[in-house]
Structure 1
Amino acid sequence: MCQVSDYVQVSTATDSREAGIRLAQSAVAGRLAASAQVVGPVASVFWHLDQQGNGEEWQVLLITTASRYAELEQHLIAEHTWTNPQVTATAIVDGSNDYLAWLRRTVEVE
């Protein structure tokens, strides 16, 4: 049986739906994430270049294993249009056994 802490939801944001979908598709195609959702637009308020800003962004949520996180992070940073994108991971604290088993099978490296 797998430990739930072995799974993470990774989050980033993009300036367009299309950019978010490209990141999601490339991560899933590379088996770095089992699935991804692009949500938006969302209102964003942030501190950047010594001033407060706001804008519209699309949130990209990706599901993977903790052991694949580093590779997924590298991929997102390399493929992102921003020079310093937000890439964060949150532990999944619970989930159905069948779903988590599918997730693990999907991203395992052979």
Structure 2
Amino acid sequence: MTTQPDHGAALIPRPERTPEAVRVALARLAPHRLAELERHKENALAAAIRSGKIGHLTHWLDWWMREVEIERRPDLYRRRDDALAAVHRTTDKDDPGFRPAMDALAAVEDEAARAVNE
């Protein structure tokens, strides 16, 4: 785990950018998501083998680095939870609350992506 600056009171330090460090961090923060991480990793590995391109694996690592960033930061976690709740309250894409909720969700994901790429 690194000692990179946090944006708020993080629950754990940001992990190094390795599959094992991400898995360990997720195990500490959200152990119920480990099976999801493993399924996603297996799918990425299979796609990389089929295509002969490592991009599937780097995408997997990028995605889970963002997920861990959100899980480790209560501010981001709360904002994502609120945005997801708002998305689920809308009945369809024409609902006036749908676009603002999706924008809020995208803002959380963008902030997490920027943080892990500092």
TM-score, normalising length from structure 2? Answer: 0.25
Structure with bigger helix share is: 2
TM-score, normalising length from structure 1? Answer: 0.26
Q: Larger Cα Rg: Structure 1 or Structure 2? A: 2
Higher RCO structure, 1 or 2 (CA under 8 Å, sep 6+): 1
